[in-house]
Amino acid sequence: MNPTPYIVLATILFSLGSAGVLLRRNALIAFMSVELMLNAANLAFVTFARMHGNIDGQIVAFFVMVIAAAEVVVGLAIIVMIFRTRRSASVDDASLLKL
Amino acid sequence: MTFPWLTTLIAVPALGAVLTALVPSGRSRLAKQVAIAFSVLTLGLAIAVIAQFDIGGDRYQLTEQNEWIEALGIYWALGVDGIGVALVALTAVATPIVALAMWPEAEESKRDPKAYFALLLAAEALTLTAFVAKDLLLFYIVFEAMLIPLYFMIGMYGGAQRRYAALKFLLYNLFGGLVMLAAVIGVYVESADAGTASFLLADLMALDIPVETQRWLFLGFMLAFAIKAPLWPFHTWLPDAAAEATPSNAAFLSGVADKVGTFGMIALAVPLFPEAAEEFAPFIVALAVISIVYGALLAIGQTDMKRLIGYTSISHFGFIVLGIFALTDRGVTGSTFYMINHGLSTIALFVIVGFMISRRQSRLIADYGGIQKPAPKLAGVFLFAGLSGLALPPLATFLSEFLVIAGTFEQYRAPAVIATVGIVLAALYILWLYQRTMTGPVGAENAETRDLGLRETVIVAPLLALILALGVFPRTVVDVIDEGVGPSLAEVDVQAPPPLVTVTDQAAEGDDQ
Amino acid sequence: MTLTNVVTLGLAAQAEASQEVQEASGLISTTWLLIALPLVGAAVLLLGGRRLDRTGHLIGCAAVIASFVWAVVLFVDMLGQDGHERAFTVALWEWFNAGGYEVRLDLLIDQLSIAFVLLITGVGSLIHIYSIGYMEHDERRRRFFGYLNLFVASMLLLVLAADYLVMFIGWEGVGLASYLLIGFWQHKPSAAVAAKKAFVVNRVGDMGMVLAIASMLVVFGSSSFQIVFAGADGAQTGWLNAIGLLLLLAACGKSAQFPLQSWLLDAMEGPTPVSALIHAATMVTAGVYLVVRSAAIYDLAPEARTAVILVGTITLLMGAIIGCAKDDIKKALAGSTMSQIGYMMLAAGLGPAGYAFAIFHLITHGFFKANMFLGAGSVMHGMNDEVDMRRFGALRAAMPATFLTFAVGYLAIIGIPPFAGFFSKDRIIEAAFGDNVLIGLCALIGAGVTAFYMTRVMLLTFFTNKRWADDAHPHESPRVMTWPLWALGFLSVAGGLGLLYIGGGIVDWLEPVTGEEHHDLPVPVAVLIALTMLVVVLGAALAWFMYQRRPVPAEAPAGNPVTVAARNDLYGDAFNEAVLMRPGQYLTRSLVYVENRGVDGAVIGAATAVGGLSARWRRWQTGFVRSYALTMLAGAGLVVVAMLLVRVP
């Protein structure tokens, strides 16, 4: 099996995701971009698992999915709360967490 | 299976702490009663433990050993030797007295009084565990966990600068503790290398650790203990803590809790690393002598009564450490006895100064004067406690101080001679304090000073009676301590030379030389 | 070096004088009662509270008198024993045993200790009775008697102990009682300061005691008299000299000998009965007792003995000179006490030739000095507590009993035969000449100066012109105060002759403990006695010319440099202040500074540095999520690059 196309695809997805996080101000979009990065990593994990012929990578991929799901639950709740109080979903507006 | 006395001894104050905390707020009187009842119950249990201690029996008695984390060789292992049983007695006696003395202090602070008492009982439980732990990790855990209740007691109920003092106390001790943690892990690694990984003290003492490793591990332990039982130059947290904590809290802190440090030196640092202890002993003796003189000189220079007593404790801890690292039987026995006596004497001093502060609302010596006129009993107990602080025979403090000096003199002549300067300085700081506060003409603001009340008499009388009784009839206590000291020093290859002249009782036996 | 000498008890030659110490049985085994009675008295009086205010003084007197009666009973019992079988140990309980060092609370009652016991309880009883009158108007009289009883109990323990460490309990106990009694009038700052000074100076001496006992542990492994004295023969001279010098330091502190003499004059702040009992008759002589008791050590430690002689000689001259210039009657007497104890020390330093005379003089001095102090107290009592002799004068008519008894004491101290002091002091001067002519001359000069200053005290107080304060109405003291004066006066007359010649006399009595030795004198004894008398008369005559022949001014004249120096205690305090106190204060103050800025400052500095650094680094936290994300990306990139770089080669 030739892993290169999968790795290229994962790289492209990861780059898209990171560009999204860095460039977009909307919290929801940034959030989706994070998911994209996670999935890029998942893809890479599964690819390498297949390549090496064991299931370690696939197990990690499952962990990542579980964490992503948990993250969505917590993260979305926070975003919704911020949106409710501030009427804005821009991540730059919520910059009070500093001294 | 025999009754787990020591576990019960620890569990009772711990339970008391929980129950005190659960008392509904607003019913502070009930909380105090619960706390005092549990501390008295603990005292009863401690008496039961002492009664079962058999002089001449095994080194560790009333032992218990249960696996805790089997994979790592960690045990819930308890047991007392002569040194431990003496310190258990001190802790158990001191806590009800301190709790009684806390009674009005809790009211004066604006916070919930029940937490104050719950924290005291928690600190008692942890201190007791440290004195009976026979597993290094268990000791380490309670050694560090003790900081939590004490931190909150200083930080919540103390004087104006309490937060600063509490933070300083915590950071100093945490720092020492972390270095010790590294050393604890080091010992564990040594034991894993030797075969079975275990934290049991009995296993660790059987190890034959190379001297180079011992040095580092010993220093790691000693740093923690030198901070806890403040040794110059790691002492500066104590005067702040003593000055800012409430008087009874300061009494518990320097009278009881700090003894864990000197206890650790005798029970852990010396027997675990005997060669390193021998090697470093001269340096530590030097630091101890500096502590004695330095602490005493600074006590003379203080203007705040509580700070003054804090510095006297540094001087006295110097004596205790000096005796320990003389590494002679007499020195170490004297030091252990000193721990008990210093506990009683310092608690008495802090508590009595607390009585004075509660009347005048000032810690400054300059605000007092001529108190003996309106309050002769207060002046009397203050002088008595002060005399125990300056080690006047036949008070118990004298005997221990003398044994320390004599034990040191066998090994180190010059340090012993310098240490005796401490007895002159002690007379100076105590009597000058007494002179400035109690004698002379009485000013208008002190003319109405209330004399000792009933509750206050009940607090002070047992302390002073114990100090006197232990001085006149010290034999049993000294025997018990001696019992524990021998094995602790067994690994150390320092023997005091035999007397130069031996006087025998039989007629015509042996010739000169 | 592990040379261990083995000495066998019993066979040990304890100098020339050795007697077996036996286990006490029968009457003697109740020796502990002597201490217990006043101790119980003290406990009852001090803990009893106000309900005992009205009867307290009677309890205090009863306790001491009972102790005295019991001492007499024991003494009579001892008289019945054979001359060399009068030493007994009374075992009480084992005090402690730490690391092979065993100390038993044993008492040793022998010829030396019973002599002290009789002096302490006898003179003590008289002074207790006197105090009933003297302290009558003091609202804290009960407490005063409690402290006095505590003192008597401690002093008895001091002289009855059979172990140096047990003796140290009594040693410090009398120090405590002295502290409490000097500062009895605590509302007076001067009294509180004097009390503290006495205690602290004594503590300097205690250093010597503690180190001496520690040395004994190294050398003998024990501090009990029996073992130490028996082993002294086998010990190295160096150690014995060290122990002897350390014990001498202790003795200097307690007995106000040079260089630790400065506290005694200040101690006169205490009530006068205290000065009489503690600071004249008994406690201050404890140093002499210590030296005599340690005879077995000093006999083998020549350098230490020389030091004792030197200290004694210096102090006897210093005290006498100070006594000449003081206008305060109590301070003049205190200077005299210093000087007389100097005589005793000198005698004790002479070894077996002088031990017995030291004790002899100690006892007669106890009689006549207590007598004179109480007399001074009686004068003060009648003169509104005035102590300045320049405000006295011509009091002999107003207080005849006080005058007569004081005069007897005066004749005794200057050594006019047949009064007590003549016999005892003369023996010391003889013994001093027997040892060294220079020392003997010093002792002789001292006798002349003594005659001068005592005549001065006598004249200024009871003769010369009236210089009373306007409101003074001198009157004789009540009988409860004069009666003890008569008793002590009688002892001052008869004590010397009695002690020297009744039975075998005190020298024979003490011989089993102290040994006996005679040196040949450079001149016949009769010549020496005549010479001494001549010097004494010269001294007294000089005082007569200076004070009786012309009126004494009520204000002290400026005086010559010697007088000024003597008034300032020969600058002992100035020396202490300049060399110890001021540098000490400076040291303390600078250490407080070092502590706050240096030791603590280093820690606080480190904390501040960390704090400052984090304040700077905190700026990196902008709060913008996307900048954090960029940092993370950059970091991840760095890690990747690093890994690639490491892997390449």
Q: What is the ipTM of this complex?
A: 0.91
> Rounded to whole angstroms, how far apart are CA atoms A44 and A37?
11
Residues C150, C42 contacting (CB under 8 angstroms) = yes
Residue A97: predicted pLDDT: 67
pLDDT higher than 70, residue B494: no
Query: Taking a C-beta distance cutoff of 8 angstroms, is the pair C369, C312 a contact?
Result: no
* Cα atoms found within 13 Å of the Cα of residue C288, Cβ hemisphere only: 36
Contacts of B231 (CB under 8 A, 6+ apart): B284, B287, B288, B291, B317, B318, B321
pLDDT at B213 over 80: yes
Q: Which amino acid is at C414?
A: I
pLDDT of residue B510: 38
C646 pLDDT band (50/70/90 cuts)? Answer: confident
Q: How many angstroms separate the first and last alpha carbons of chain C? A: 66
| Lowest-pLDDT choice from B104-108, C459-463, C622-626 | B104-108
Which one, of C19, C18, C62, lies nearest residue C44 by Cα?
A: C62
Taking 70 as the threshold, does the pLDDT of residue B509 lie above it? Answer: no
In this structure, how many other beta carbons lie within 10 angstroms of the beta carbon of residue B171?
14
Determine the pLDDT at residue B485: 85
Share of chain C above pLDDT 70, in %: 97
Helix (H) or strand (E) segment spanning residue C535: helix C525-543
Higher per-residue pLDDT: C550 or C137 = C137
Check if the beta carbon of residue B326 is closer than 8 Å to that of residue B410: yes
- What is the average pLDDT across B11-32? 89
What is the number of H-type helices and E-type strands within chain C?
Answer: 26, 4
Local structure of C8: helix, strand or coil: strand
Closest CA to C88 of C290, C247, C225: C225
Cα of B420 to nearest chain C Cα, Å: 6
C597 in contact with B, Cβ within 8 Å: no
Residue B508 clears pLDDT 50, i.e. is over it: no
Whether residue B325 is predicted with pLDDT greater than 50 in this model: the reply is yes
The Cβ-side half-sphere exposure at C29, using a 13 Å CA radius, reads 7
Residues of C with CB under 8 A from a CB of A: 618, 621-626, 629-630, 633
Contact B101/C at CB under 8 A: no
The pLDDT of residue C3 is 46
Whether the bond between B210 and the residue before it is cis, its omega within 30 degrees of 0, is no
Provide, as residue numbers in chain C, all residues whose Cβ is less than 8 Å from the Cβ of B496: 99
The predicted structure's pLDDT at residue A45: 94
pLDDT band for position B286 (cuts 50, 70, 90): very high
Please report the pLDDT score of residue B401 as a whole number.
93
pLDDT at C81 over 90: no
Say how far apart CA A89 and CA C371 lie, in whole Å.
104
Q: Which chain A residues are closer than 8 Å to C626 by Cβ?
A: 21-23, 25, 30, 91-92
- Give B331-348 as a 3 state SS string: HHHHHHHHHHHHHHHHHH
pLDDT band at B335 (very low <50, low <70, confident <90, very high): very high
Q: What angle do helix axes C286-293 and C355-382 make, rounded to 10 degrees?
A: 170
Q: Distance between alpha carbon C298 and the CA centroid of its chain, in Å?
A: 20
- pLDDT at residue B513 above 50? no
Residue contacts between B and C (CB atoms, under 8 Å) = 213
Range B12-25 average pLDDT: 91
Q: Given an 8 Å threshold on Cβ–Cβ distance, is B402 in contact with C165?
A: yes
B329–C100: do the CB atoms touch at under 8 Å? yes
The continuous run of DSSP H or E covering B88 comes out as helix B82-108
The reply to whether A30 touches chain C by the CB within 8 Å rule is yes
B512: pLDDT strictly greater than 50 = no
**pLDDT value at C250 more than 70:** yes
Residues 6+ apart with CB under 8 A from B9: B42, B45, B46, B49, B88, B128, B132
Contact assessment for residue C294 and residue C216, using Cβ atoms and an 8 Å cutoff: no
Share above pLDDT 90 across residues of chain C, in percent, rounded to a whole number: 36
Mean pLDDT of C49-60: 86
User: How does pLDDT run across C420-446, given as a tens digit for each residue?
Assistant: 888 888 888 888 888 888 998 999 999
Q: B301 CA to chain C: closest CA distance, Å?
A: 6
Alpha carbons A75 and A79: distance in angstroms, whole number: 6
pLDDT digits (tens, 9 = 90+) for B159-197: 888 899 999 999 999 999 999 999 999 999 999 888 888
Q: How would you write the pLDDT of chain A (99 residues) with one tens digit per residue?
A: 788 999 999 999 999 999 998 888 888 898 899 999 999 999 999 999 999 888 889 999 999 999 999 989 999 998 898 888 888 888 877 777 665
Secondary structure (3-state) at B304: strand
Cα gap B230→B237, rounded to integer Å? 8
CA distances from C96 to B88, B333, C292, C340 (A): 21, 11, 27, 39
d(CA B287, CA B36): 39
pLDDT value, residue B56: 81
Q: B504, C204: Cβ pair inside 8 Å? A: no
Residue C13 has pLDDT above 60, yes or no: no
Looking at chain C from residue 90 to 149, which residues have their Cβ under 8 Å from any Cβ of chain B?
Answer: 93-101
H/E/C letters for each residue in C11-25?
A: CCCCCCCCCCCEECC
Q: What pLDDT is recorded for position B511?
A: 38
Test mutation, A15, A18, A33, A93, chain C, max C CBs within 10 A: A18
Q: Tell me what the mean pLDDT of segment C362-387 comes to.
A: 89
Whole-angstrom Cα distance, residue B221 to residue B180? Answer: 5
The stretch C158-175 carries a mean pLDDT of 93
Crossing angle of the two packed helices C56-79 and C141-160, in degrees rounded to 10: 20
Return mean pLDDT, chain C: 86
Q: Which positions in chain A touch C618 (Cβ < 8 Å)?
A: 98-99
Å from C346 to nearest chain B CA? 27
Cβ burial, residue C330 (10 Å; 0-12/13-18/19+): buried
pLDDT at B506 over 60: no
Nearest CA of chain C to the CA of B206: how many Å?
24
Please give the pLDDT value at position B207.
Answer: 87
Length of chain B: 513
C302 upstream amide cis, omega within 30 of 0: no
pLDDT of residue C503: 64
Q: At what angle do helices C164-182 and C237-255 cross, to 10 degrees?
A: 20
**Mean pLDDT for all residues in chain B:** 89
Burial C438-468 (b: 16+ CB within 10 A, else e): ebbebbbebbbbbbbbbbbbbbbbbbbeebb
Which position has the token pair 């009530």?
C271
Average the pLDDT over C554-581 and give the result. Answer: 79
Instruction: Give the pLDDT band of residue C12 (cuts 50, 70, 90).
Output: very low
Q: What is the 3-state secondary structure (H, E, C) of A20-64?
A: HHHHCCEHHHHHHHHHHHHHHHHHHHHHHHHHHCCCHHHHHHHHH
pLDDT of residue C648: 63
pLDDT at C529 over 80: yes
Q: Are B484 and B81 in contact (CB under 8 A)?
A: yes
Q: For residues B342 and C462, what is the distance between their CA atoms, to the nearest angstrom?
A: 55
CA-CA distance, B275 to C67, in Å (whole number)?
Answer: 57
pLDDT over 60 (residue C548): yes
Q: What is the pLDDT of residues B380-432, one digit of tens each?
A: 999 999 999 999 988 999 999 999 999 999 889 999 999 999 999 999 999 99
pLDDT for res C500: 79
Cα separation of C607 and B151, whole Å? 18
User: What's the pTM value of the predicted model, to 2 decimals?
Assistant: 0.88
Which chains does chain B touch, 3 or more C-beta pairs < 8 A?
A: C
C117/C167 Cα distance (integer angstroms): 14
Residues near A40 by beta carbon (within 8 Å), at least 6 away in sequence: A10, A11, A12, A13, A14, A17
Q: What is the pLDDT of residue B238?
A: 93
Q: Which of B111-115, B224-228, C37-41 has the lowest mean pLDDT?
A: B111-115
d(CA C569, CA A99): 70
CB-based burial, C209-240: b 16+ in 10 Å, e otherwise: bbbbbbbbbbbbbbbbbbbbbbbbbbbeeebb
Residues B260-277 pLDDT 10s: 999 999 999 999 999 999
pLDDT for the residue numbered C582? 85
Question: Tell me, what DSSP letter sits at residue B28?
Answer: H
Q: What is the mean pLDDT of residues C124-134?
A: 91
Q: How far is C168 from C154, CA to CA, in rounded Å?
A: 10
* Lowest-confidence segment of B306-310, B353-357, C82-86 by average pLDDT: C82-86
